[in-house]
Amino acid sequence: MEIKGEILRILRSGKVVSGEEISKKLEVSRVAIWKHIQTLKEHGYVIQSSPKGYHLVKTPDLLFPWEFSKIKSEVIGKKIYHFMDVPSTMDVARDFAERGEKEGTLVIAEAQTKGRGRLGRDWISIEGGLYISLILKPKIKPSYAHRATIMSSVAIAKTIDRLYNLDARVKWPNDVLIGENKIGGILAEMKTEMDIIHYVIAGIGININNDPPEKENTTSIKKEVGKEVSRVEFTKSLVDELDKRYSLIKNKFHHILREWRSLSSTLGRLVKVVTTEDELEGYALDIDDNGSLLLKLRDDTIKRIFAGDCTHLRKKHIRIG
């Protein structure tokens, strides 16, 4: 039992509750309760103490593990590590994975000093954004590892739609957009052998209450909704959406592919894809079950692209086929 989570649950009744009452309910000494309350205060919870007891006045919107103690998931988020700031959650998660940490474990940071994006880019990670690395150990072939990012992008888009009724879309290979503007992205790093995946770290970065870097084509939930939102609520929903889909990765991936296709902003469009060998332009026809993009080139040949950087060239969706 996470005592701090339990104390907060009791205090969230809105009433003034005595230390004695909390201690009886949780079968923990009053001194221990007092200590937990002090720690909560140090972490930014405003808790007034009076002779009658404790009164919770304000909760910071920080992603402490005890805020998620009531999550009922099968795999994702069963264990959460939280840091105020780290260079990159990817490295922390990799170290945990190397030491045998269970799959589903989340590494969350309030800020990162060396956040990284795809293709060696930086991921500016100031407070207010969401920075998570998720340790996964799917029992699938290494060539299917992309499924983890496809699943994550669908889960992010569904969370945004579910909480704020915004039309979030997925862009191949692993961005999430609102309109044409990027709101989040996923970086996958993995350790594999010939035919097994030791682990995949899915790094998720989402602009929530942070102002994204002054680049073209970026947005945040705050910008779209017009006010700050609860990052705790967002993370709970995201964990739920990830957890619902994770079990489908191995044998029922077609369900996730169906969702991805219906959320896709890329399919049916003229796109440019830069890979390590090529720069290609064509119509995005579909993705296959390892997440590769099927691109119809000008000479009507179809190219299967496993990884690359994709730019949408036209605003409007175009009929293909």
Which residues are at the interface with ligand BTN (CB under 6 A)? 88-90, 112, 115-118, 121, 123, 131-133, 175, 185-187, 203-205
Angle at 23 between CA 21 and CA 29, to 5 degrees: 150
Q: Is the Cβ of residue 116 or residue 147 nearer to ligand BTN in the bound state?
A: 116
Residue 202 CB, shortest distance to ligand BTN, in Å, is: 9
| Amino acid letter for position 254 | H
Residue 274 CB, shortest distance to ligand BTN, in Å, is: 14
Q: How many whole angstroms separate alpha carbon 270 and alpha carbon 282?
A: 5
Q: Is the Cβ of residue 124 or residue 225 nearer to ligand BTN in the bound state?
A: 124
Q: Is the Cβ of residue 40 or residue 200 nearer to ligand BTN in the bound state?
A: 200
Phi then psi dihedrals of residue 255, to 5 deg = -65, -40
Non-local CB neighbours of 110 within 8 Å, separated by 6+ positions? 62, 63, 82, 83, 84, 85, 127, 131
Q: Is the Cβ of residue 19 or residue 203 nearer to ligand BTN in the bound state?
A: 203
Angle at 202 between CA 197 and CA 208, to 5 degrees: 170
Residue 117 CB, shortest distance to ligand BTN, in Å, is: 3
Residue 83 CB, shortest distance to ligand BTN, in Å, is: 11
The one-character DSSP state at 195 is S
Q: Is the Cβ of residue 187 or residue 305 nearer to ligand BTN in the bound state?
A: 187
**Residue 213, preceding bond cis, omega within 30 degrees?**
no
Residue nearest to ligand BTN (CB): 185
Residue 159 CB, shortest distance to ligand BTN, in Å, is: 16
Non-local CB neighbours of 255 within 8 Å, separated by 6+ positions? 245, 248
| Amino acid letter for position 302 | I
Q: How many whole angstroms separate alpha carbon 223 and alpha carbon 314?
A: 24
Q: Is the Cβ of residue 35 or residue 114 nearer to ligand BTN in the bound state?
A: 114
Residue 37 CB, shortest distance to ligand BTN, in Å, is: 31
